[in-house]
Chains A and B, each alone.
Chain A
Amino acid sequence: MKVRRADPGLLQIVSMSGVTVLVVDDEPQIRRAVRNALSAGIRVSDIADGSADERGQSRTNVVATVRVLEASTGREAIDLAATEAPAMIILDLGLPDMAGLAVCREIRRFSTAPIIVLSARHADTEKVALLDAGADDYLTKPFSTIELTARVRAQFRRARTPAAPSSEMVISVGDLTIDLAKRRVERAGELLHLTPTEWSLLRAFVTHPRQTLTHHQLFRAVWGSSSGDAQQYLRVYVGHLRRKLESDPVRPRFIQTDAGVGYRFEPAPDAAIAAGSHEDPLER
């Protein structure tokens, strides 16, 4: 294989209308299905920055040029991820030569591109380990192509918007108003009283919107370490927080459960999360 480093300047220009995705699966039919789904389902508006709007509103709804790289082994995937610097990696766990976890770790050593993991059923613990190792999302096989493209789009959106809102920001989601600087939460204009633990949890959630946070990651974000017996009570704190934030805690609107994996904060579509730099408590 020819090794060449992508010129970052060039990449910037390409990313305006096209994008490179690496698909890793040892099954050619699945690679093909993913390739077809991606080339039809990703629009320029999904990948292009908001500032690209000046190039013309009409262009943003155009199907984006997706360059799909394919790899059938873990070794090949790592090589391609290093040489081609793809904007997104879709990684199957059942590779013939390496464990998916090892591939994920290896790629994370040099790449920050979102990684979506494809896994078979009955592998919750594996999913958790992968998210902890730096994967961004996962899909269970068999998956529908609609779901796949939705997840891919969501990852692009997340990669495009800055990772976390600034700690000075005021965030409004639904009837909630969260003031990170003043540490105030209002629900429909009424001030909520949160314990320090609940507040830390909420802050971890709102600074990582639409991202599944594993129990381990949440615990580190809230208590600073993942040691201790108290880890098991994390779900209880989430339960208390939900009862304060959600109108129906069993059908939560904001804090969703990814059973066996962790929790995900879903801001309402009109969520006003502004840009800004922020020290990421989940920084690995």
Chain B
Amino acid sequence: MSVEPTRRSAAAVPNVARRANELALPLAAGRSARKRRWLLWVVWFTALALAATAMLLVRSKLDEAHVALVFLLVVLGGSAAGGRTLGLTLAVAAFLSFNYFFLPPYFTFAIANPLDWLVLVTFLITSVVAAQLLHRATSTAEEAMQRTAEVDRLATLGAETLNLPRPEDALHAILSVIRTTLDVVSCEIFVQDPEQRIVLAGHSSADVDASRTLTRPDPAGVEPDGKPVPGFDGDAATGSHGLVGWIFTHGRGAVELADGTVRIVDDPAQEVARLEGGDEVRGLSIPLAVRGETVGVLHMHTDGRLTLTLEQARFLDALAYYAALGVERGRLVADAERAEAERRLEVLRSALLTAVSHDLRTPLTTIKAIAHEIAEGGHRDRARIIEDESDRLDTLVGDLLDLSRIQSGAVNPALEVNTVDDLIGAALQRAHALLRGRTADVDLPNDELLTGRFDLTNSLRALVNLIENACRYSPDGSPITIRARREDGIVRITVMDRGPGVPPAERERIFEPFYRPRGTTADVRGTGLGLSIARGLAVAQGGAVEFAPRDGGGSCFSLLVRAANDASPAEHELDARAAAQD
């Protein structure tokens, strides 16, 4: 799989990024909750003090039951709002003030009536049990709610992430969620390419310029651009180099400690969450497994201490699973693409065999026969045929080479500013022999020098093929028109003939290699590659070749190239430099 880290994917997934922030929020909320808790304690102790003071003022009219009930109310309220610890503390405080203020002898902790002990102890037990029960109920409910919300958010994130058009984007989105949520410096996913080499499939790092994080020793032993380091042997014994390779083969996770040691564990996230102080964690490697097979490794690293709460660990495991699915999806997509490419290659290969056996052998047979004829004393003028047939072979070899270049993606267009005058002029020159006996009208805008940003050699070949095609499939002597016009951001160069046209069912098939329309006569000596090469070369430089029927009969084949933005910037400056040369 060739999934490369992409920077632009971050922009392509704003939705997921936003979701990531929502997800990060409840986990980060723990910090501000601590501050709020202190406030709660102050509020509820004030409430207890106020209740005690109010009852003290009317003590003579109250009996013990009233006091116990009011205090119980405060304890219950406190534990509902502030949790168990506050509830229990309030219970003890209420117990003490009950004793001190409201049980005679007043303002001492002594108790005159032994029966008051019963009241007091009952009160304490009731408050403690009530606080406990209340805490359990609320926390269970809260936890359930939190989980629901978390599951909900994860589900949405997962669906959105996995729905991204490109698997690389999904990985990138997951990585940036992990990085921002857990506040780590860098976070990356490694996968194995079809040759079992470990490559970086995506990374997210705190720096816009990722160089800082990538210059440190890389755990995978790969270069930042995804090429494996030579001599990488995947052995865990060599230190952090090759750790990722080790994880791939063994499917276990690793926790990297600040002192440089690596601890192999089965569940690294949970392991980090369980660590209480002591060991300082710097990095974490989690195997990404789908159906028991390790498809990737998620690695994260931080400069300071890496800590995880249990929720964060759970969250990380869930995201790691999504990442695993993302990697798997990328693999499946790549597999499907490869299969499709292989299928097309197979089709081409069989067509190629046919072509080689027929189209190449026909001229060779002629050449051989005539050479023999001449050797046996035949007329020397017959040698002219050898020359013609050689030219035909040359054309076919050239076409086959071009086709294989296109099919293997080896066309490297040099996009440069060129004039359409040049393109059409050179094409007419090349197609000179075929155009013999015809008029070729050129229709260009009068007032404008048309310019485009295209590869002249490739575009020339494409246009010549279109002109040749028009000549081959239209009656001898019928005129051909070449028209060029600028359209919104493109230049359209159309070759128009008065041939029979193309039936609708064949309008796409004519661009397939070796396809010749039915009823093609033997004297149409094309290779059947012209249109397919024209289209391939045009597409390779971001253009196109299109067919349209022509009004009044015939065909229009258009070569589309990108228009040049500005014909001649800084003209004055260049003129000045040219003048200075004199």
Task: Report if A and B associate in a common complex.
Answer: yes
Q: Mark A51-91, 1 if CB is under 8 A from B, else 0.
A: 00000000000000000000000000000000000000000
Does A28 make an interface contact (CB < 8 A)? no
In the complex, the chain A residue whose C-beta lies closest to that of B453 is A232
**Contacting pair A239 B421 (CB below 8 A):** yes
In the complex, the chain A residue whose C-beta lies closest to that of B461 is A259
Give bound CA distance, A70 to B576, whole Å. 49
**Contacting pair B419 A230 (CB below 8 A):** no
Does B112 make an interface contact (CB < 8 A)? no
Does B456 make an interface contact (CB < 8 A)? yes
Main secondary structure on chain B at its contact with chain A?
helix
**Contacting pair B570 A230 (CB below 8 A):** yes
Write out the residue numbers on chain A whose beta carbons fall within 8 Å of the beta carbon of B426.
Answer: 257, 259
Give bound CA distance, A135 to B581, whole Å. 25
**Contacting pair A259 B419 (CB below 8 A):** no
Does A200 make an interface contact (CB < 8 A)? yes
Does A276 make an interface contact (CB < 8 A)? no
**Contacting pair B574 A230 (CB below 8 A):** yes
In the complex, the chain A residue whose C-beta lies closest to that of B451 is A236
Write out the residue numbers on chain B whose beta carbons fall within 8 Å of the beta carbon of A197.
Answer: 571, 574-575, 578
Does B284 make an interface contact (CB < 8 A)? no
Q: Which listed residue, B416, B428, B578, touches A200 by the CB 8 Å rule?
A: B578
Does A8 make an interface contact (CB < 8 A)? no
Give bound CA distance, A257 to B577, whole Å. 25
Does B470 make an interface contact (CB < 8 A)? no
**Contacting pair B568 A196 (CB below 8 A):** no
**Contacting pair A259 B457 (CB below 8 A):** yes
**Contacting pair B424 A236 (CB below 8 A):** no
In the complex, the chain B residue whose C-beta lies closest to that of A263 is B422
Task: List which A120-139 residues lie within 8 A (CB) of chain B.
Answer: 121-122, 124-125
In the complex, the chain A residue whose C-beta lies closest to that of B394 is A142
Write out the residue numbers on chain A whose beta carbons fall within 8 Å of the beta carbon of B571.
Answer: 195, 197
**Contacting pair A239 B451 (CB below 8 A):** yes
Given A235-B422, A236-B567, A238-B419; A281-B581 close (CB under 8 Å) = yes
Does A242 make an interface contact (CB < 8 A)? yes
Q: In the assembled complex, how far is the CB of residue B450 from the closest CB belonging to chain A, in whole angstroms? A: 9
**Contacting pair B451 A223 (CB below 8 A):** no
Q: Which listed residue, A196, A235, A250, touches B444 by the CB 8 Å rule?
A: A250
Q: Mark B440-451, 1 if CB is under 8 A from A, else 0.
A: 001010000101
Write out the residue numbers on chain A whose beta carbons fall within 8 Å of the beta carbon of B578.
Answer: 195-197, 199-200, 222-223
Write out the residue numbers on chain B whose beta carbons fall within 8 Å of the beta carbon of A224.
Answer: 577, 580-581
- What's the interface size class on B, roughly? 35 or more
Give me 14 A-to-B residue pairs in the complex whose CB atoms sit less than 8 angstroms apart, sorted by A's number: A121-B401, A122-B402, A124-B457, A142-B390, A196-B579, A197-B571, A200-B582, A221-B581, A235-B418, A236-B417, A236-B568, A239-B419, A242-B421, A260-B460
Write out the residue numbers on chain A whose beta carbons fall within 8 Å of the beta carbon of B419.
Answer: 235-236, 238-239
Given A236-B417, A243-B449; A260-B456 close (CB under 8 Å) = yes
Give bound CA distance, A124 to B552, whole Å. 40
Write out the residue numbers on chain B whose beta carbons fall within 8 Å of the beta carbon of A277.
Answer: none
Q: In the assembled complex, how far is the CB of residue B234 from the closest CB belonging to chain A, in whole angstroms? A: 39
**Contacting pair A252 B425 (CB below 8 A):** yes
Write out the residue numbers on chain B whose beta carbons fall within 8 Å of the beta carbon of A125.
Answer: 414
Does A110 make an interface contact (CB < 8 A)? no
**Contacting pair B460 A259 (CB below 8 A):** yes
Give bound CA distance, A197 to B582, whole Å. 11
Chain B residues packing against A (C-beta within 8 Å): 387, 390-391, 394, 398, 401-402, 405, 414, 416-419, 421-422, 424-426, 428-430, 442, 444, 449, 451, 456-457, 460, 564, 567-571, 574-582
Give bound CA distance, A257 to B422, whole Å. 7
**Contacting pair A196 B576 (CB below 8 A):** yes
**Contacting pair A223 B425 (CB below 8 A):** no
Write out the residue numbers on chain A whose beta carbons fall within 8 Å of the beta carbon of B417.
Answer: 232-233, 235-236
Chain A residues packing against B (C-beta within 8 Å): 121-122, 124-125, 142, 144, 195-197, 199-200, 221-224, 230, 232-233, 235-240, 242-243, 249-252, 257, 259-260, 281
Given A142-B390, A200-B581, A281-B581; A249-B421 close (CB under 8 Å) = yes
In the complex, the chain B residue whose C-beta lies closest to that of A167 is B582
Q: Which listed residue, A200, A232, A250, touches B424 by the CB 8 Å rule?
A: A250
**Contacting pair B581 A233 (CB below 8 A):** no
**Contacting pair A122 B449 (CB below 8 A):** no
Q: In the assembled complex, how far is the CB of residue A251 from the closest CB belonging to chain B, in whole angstroms? A: 6
Write out the residue numbers on chain B whose beta carbons fall within 8 Å of the beta carbon of A142.
Answer: 390-391, 394
**Contacting pair A196 B575 (CB below 8 A):** yes
In the complex, the chain A residue whose C-beta lies closest to that of B398 is A121
Write out the residue numbers on chain A whose beta carbons fall within 8 Å of the beta carbon of B425.
Answer: 249-252, 257
Give bound CA distance, A243 to B456, whole Å. 19
Q: In the assembled complex, how far is the CB of residue B452 from the closest CB belonging to chain A, in whole angstroms? A: 10
Q: Which listed residue, A222, A233, A239, A250, touches B428 by the CB 8 Å rule?
A: A250
Q: In the assembled complex, how far is the CB of residue B476 from the closest CB belonging to chain A, in whole angstroms? A: 22
Write out the residue numbers on chain B whose beta carbons fall within 8 Å of the beta carbon of A124.
Answer: 457
Q: In the assembled complex, how far is the CB of residue B393 from the closest CB belonging to chain A, in whole angstroms? A: 9
Give bound CA distance, A236 to B563, whole Å. 13
Write out the residue numbers on chain B whose beta carbons fall within 8 Å of the beta carbon of A222.
Answer: 578, 581
**Contacting pair A233 B444 (CB below 8 A):** no
Write out the residue numbers on chain B whose beta carbons fall within 8 Å of the beta carbon of A121.
Answer: 398, 401
Residue of B424, B567, B581 contacting most chain A CB atoms (<10 Å): B581
**Contacting pair B574 A235 (CB below 8 A):** no
**Contacting pair A251 B576 (CB below 8 A):** no
**Contacting pair B449 A240 (CB below 8 A):** yes
Given A236-B419, A250-B428, A251-B425; A144-B581 close (CB under 8 Å) = no
In the complex, the chain A residue whose C-beta lies closest to that of B393 is A142
20 other A-B residue contacts (CB within 8 Å) besides A235-B451, A242-B421, A259-B422: A121-B398, A122-B401, A142-B394, A144-B387, A199-B578, A200-B581, A221-B581, A224-B580, A224-B581, A236-B449, A236-B564, A236-B567, A237-B568, A239-B419, A243-B449, A250-B442, A252-B425, A259-B426, A259-B457, A281-B581
Give bound CA distance, A60 to B438, whole Å. 40
In the complex, the chain A residue whose C-beta lies closest to that of B573 is A230
In the complex, the chain B residue whose C-beta lies closest to that of A248 is B442
Per CB-CB distance, the 7 closest pairs between chain A and chain B, nearest first, are A239-B419, A196-B579, A260-B457, A200-B578, A197-B578, A196-B575, A259-B426
Write out the residue numbers on chain A whose beta carbons fall within 8 Å of the beta carbon of B449.
Answer: 236, 239-240, 243
Write out the residue numbers on chain A whose beta carbons fall within 8 Å of the beta carbon of B398.
Answer: 121
**Contacting pair A223 B421 (CB below 8 A):** no
Given A200-B581, A250-B444; A259-B456 close (CB under 8 Å) = yes
Give bound CA distance, A237 to B569, whole Å. 11
Give bound CA distance, A259 to B456, whole Å. 7
Given A144-B387, A281-B581; A239-B457 close (CB under 8 Å) = no
Give bound CA distance, A249 to B422, whole Å. 8
